[in-house]
Structure 1
Amino acid sequence: MDPREYCHNKATPPGSSLYYSLLFLPEAQRHTVTALYAYQKEIVGIVAECSDVGVAQTKLQWWQEEITRLFAGCPRHPVTQTLATPIKTYDLPQQSFLQVIGGAASDLEQSTYPSFQALTTYCYQIAGVISLMAAEIYGYQDSETRTYAENLGIALQLTHILRNVRQDADRGRIYLPQEELTRFQVSSEAIFTSYANSQGMTALLAQQAGQTRHYFRSALANLGKHDRQTQYAGLTQIALGLNILNTMEEDGYPVLQRRTSLTPLRKLWIAWRTSRRARRGLVPQC
């Protein structure tokens, strides 16, 4: 299989949110950003799919060595082969790729997070650095756009966590902060068994959704008008993420019963509308 095709199959299958977020990008940018997210999925997937911690650590070590090979000019994996030229073209830092591995490694060491601050640190490592590298590929003039990208990545990962509470619990993991579970009187055991107190759980999820919106707002506040046209793929990610949050809220946050999703047609409409608005310097409403 062609390395680019491998990356697209991994990160942007037709109908996925990322597929529509990148749909209107120039071809070269689309291939490169797709490879970045394919890399993210490879690393995060190790934690999600490996029940044996030792095996997972071995795989992460292999990827750490593969990043060394990538920057030495001799990558072996389809994802890193796709990134071999772009890391030079866009001057992408080796440390950013290693931070993703570091985030996954820390995730192996714990099945819960004590505080929201600890959770956002993890989100930055796993997703914030990916959004930062994507922003480099899209191009920007204002230095504040880096802050936009960092907050965007954190917001997207927080949205992902909210959508996947049930799926994560099924594999023994709870990403909702322990201090928040205590505050809203929701036990870990109740989440694992899907018997969380309805009132407390709904209040907890609403609070987490509010914090996620804060990061989306912070992202938008740091994106100047000069860079809105080039960063429209990220703006599409924001629009899709906000629609997910809105749908969750309208449905009463049923995350222990099902995963909230949007139809492909709705995603296409959001992507088309957001890209058109971004070209006029407009951003999604948060």
Structure 2
Amino acid sequence: MTVQAAAPDTNYGTTASGSSFYAAMRILPREQRDAMFQIYSFCRQVDDIADSDGPRPERLSALQQWREDIDALYRGNPPPRLRDYVASVKKFGLQREDFLAIIDGMEMDVPQEIRAPDLATLDLYCDRVASAVGRLSVRVFGLPSDDGILLAHHLGRALQLTNILRDIDEDASLGRLYLPREELEKNGITSTDPLRVATEKALPKVCAALVERARSHFVEADKIMARHPRRLVRAPRIMSKYYHAILQLLIARGFAAPRAPVRVGKFARLAIVLRYAFI
């Protein structure tokens, strides 16, 4: 994915327009919106590297180049692809460590595919690929530091666990299995072969444990957002409600094979945006 430096609102908006992220960010004032689309673009580019079918050494090298580019940005000598990030980094105090954590998270899938990580590794993965994005985002939204970091912790994990539950079959086709080893073993699943695990009769019990984890994080995120003015939490609340709707659809469908894909309908998405952005 190529991101041009000029006209960031148009370019980043186009990049994100197919995502649930887009509607939540379009309601922000321009400077915040541009910063969020920059964060999104960065995440998409490093994610595309991790998910590509290129040789692993080349992917590792490409991610290392991103680390070096982030370091150069914070030394005051940004490469061309990061020049338009300078204003956002300064205005919102975006932290170098969070950008690097995202790269580290994406890299966890590169040396070898993740398969049945233990709970501590799964939580680290969620922190890097989701909550680190949240830590950048809450600075843009203007939330106080302590509650902002706490919101990033809970909402990031809620969204990522929902993604994992939604994408079991897609991930299995890529040789990946993000369901935690402890829950698999507790329910008598000893294989770590993603395609085999995806057909196990005990899989719904494994997923039920992750559903409860995701639900608890959604609850904690809602408590934090309730403490702050509506204008500060409109965007994260839209994301929360959208992903909670996905989780509810997954629960209603169930996790036994075969699993039909779930999707929040257009009118349901519009209702979420209207309710939490404007009403």
TM-score w.r.t. the length of structure 2 is: 0.88
Matching residue of 1:62: 65
Corresponding residue to 2:103 among 95, 98, 101 = 101
Alpha-carbon offset, residue 131 of structure 1: 0.7
Give how far 1:246 is off.
Answer: 0.4
Structure 1 vs Structure 2 CA RMSD: 2.3
- What is the CA-CA distance between 1:163 and the residue it aligns to? 1.4
CA distance in 1, matches of 2:198, 2:133: 35
Provide the residue aligned with 2:118 in structure 1. Answer: 115
8 Å contact 2:25–2:235 — kept in the other structure?
Answer: yes
Query: Sequence identity of aligned pairs in percent?
Result: 24
Aligned to 1:13: 17
- Which amino acid is 1:220 matched to? D
Runs of 4+ in 1 over 6 A off after TM superposition: none
Contact 2:189–2:197 (CA<8 Å) still a contact in 1? no
Q: Which has the higher contact order (CA 8 A, sep 6+)?
A: 1
Residue 219 (structure 1) aligned to one of 218, 221, 230:
221
Q: Gaps (5+ residues) in structure 2?
A: none
User: Aligned equivalents of 2:198 and 2:106: distance in 1?
Assistant: 29
**Correspondences of 1:184-263 after superposition (within 5 Å):** 184-186=187-189, 188=191, 191-193=194-196, 196-198=199-201, 200-253=202-255, 257-263=259-265
Q: Matches of 2:198 and 2:72 in 1, distance apart?
A: 48
Say if 2:59 is the partner of 1:52.
no
Q: Which residue of 2 aligns with 1:149?
A: 152
Q: 1:91 aligned to 2:102?
A: no
SS in 2 for 1:197: coil
1:138 deviation in Å? 0.8
Query: What residue number does 1:162 align with?
Result: 165
Larger displacement relative to structure 2 (68-77 or 130-139): 68-77
Say how many residue pairs are matched.
273
Correspondence for 1:284: none
- Shift in Å at residue 77 of structure 1? 5.0
> Is structure 2 residue 146 aligned with structure 1 residue 137?
no
Structure 1 range deviating more: 225-234 or 242-251: 225-234
Cα gap change, 1:248 to 1:254, in 2 (>3 Å): farther
1:27 partnered with 2:30: yes
**What are the ranges of 5 or more consecutive residues in structure 1 without an aligned counterpart?**
278-286
The AA in structure 1 aligned to 2:34 is H
Q: TM-score, normalised by structure 1?
A: 0.86
